[in-house]
Amino acid sequence: MSANLRVGFIGAGKMASALAQGFIKGQAVKCASHVSASCPIADKHLLEHMKQMGCQTFHCNKELMDCSDVVILAVKPQIMPLVLPDIKSLVASKLMVSIAAGVQLARLQADLNPDSKIVRLMPNTPCIVREGVSVFCSGPQVTPQDNATVKQLFGTVGQIDEVKESMIDAVTGVSGSGPAYMYLIIEAMADGGVKQGLPRDLAYKLAAQTMVGAGRMVLETHTHPAVLKDEVCSPGGTTITALDMLEKSGLRTSIMQAVEAATKRCTQI
């Protein structure tokens, strides 16, 4: 990956902002001005955060394309048909990365041109704090060097893996949408702590750090979550009593159904 790599975002929503922050913090780019974003004038308020970070901003996709080596398509899936014709003649040899849920490589390739170098990637918002997780698949024109650029770029904001395109929708259901599930659990745990008399700030801190720690235990020990769960449960103790309540409440089934619903939604876009 070039030390002078320039990254442009077509679209300036929350995911684009999260990635931009992560790239700058992770020094994936030489300086903030090597990151740019574009959006219509009607949505100019979305560019304010980018400007505050020191990024370049445009209302013209051509200007953004001219100063970018990697272009990240960060618009909503329903907006993609409006954007692709606008940039079709500009893609040339640029590496295009789409983070739009449910938009397949074949559709992107058809709406641009057969020679376009296109990667489909699903990140998540913890990229802001460089604890994200991304997966990607590549179109037929993408070279090994392009794949290496994607891995190095997104590797600065968390973990990244290459997968078959058939897995991307399920990935969206697990990690793309997953932070929202985790925030809901953190909020519920904290509310439970407050109900039992804990100060709210402390309750949030305990719940959030507990989730961080549990995640790191799974990743760093390579131990099955069920084994780690059993290690916390003493016979007749507090934890097994709490887990019994969660199972009766259907937590496991609800989360599995949430992942399924998010995955199916991708196919409807």
Binding residues for NADP(+): 10-15, 74-77
Annotated binding site for NADPH: 61
Torsion of CA 77, 65, 157, 2, to 10 degrees: 150
Torsion of CA 120, 122, 128, 130, to 10 degrees: -90
Strand order from edge to edge, sheet including 56-58: 56-58, 35-38, 7-10, 70-73, 95-98, 117-122, 132-138, 158-162
Annotated binding site: 10-15, 61, 74-77
Nearest-angstrom CA–CA distance, 120 and 96: 9
Q: Is the dihedral of CA 95, 96, 101, 105 positive or negative?
A: negative
Q: Which residues in 23-157 belong to E strands, given as ranges? A: 35-38, 56-58, 70-73, 95-98, 117-122, 132-138
CB neighbour list of residue 11: distance below 8 Å, 6 or more residues apart = 37, 38, 39, 73, 74, 75, 76, 79, 83
| Phi, psi of 166, deg, nearest 5 | -60, -15
| Integer angstrom CA distances of residue 156 from 27, 81, 94, 153, 179 | 7, 30, 21, 6, 19
Given the structure tokens 């998010």, which residue do they identify?
A: 262
User: Tokens in use for 93?
Assistant: 């040899």
CB 1 within 8 A of CB 126: no
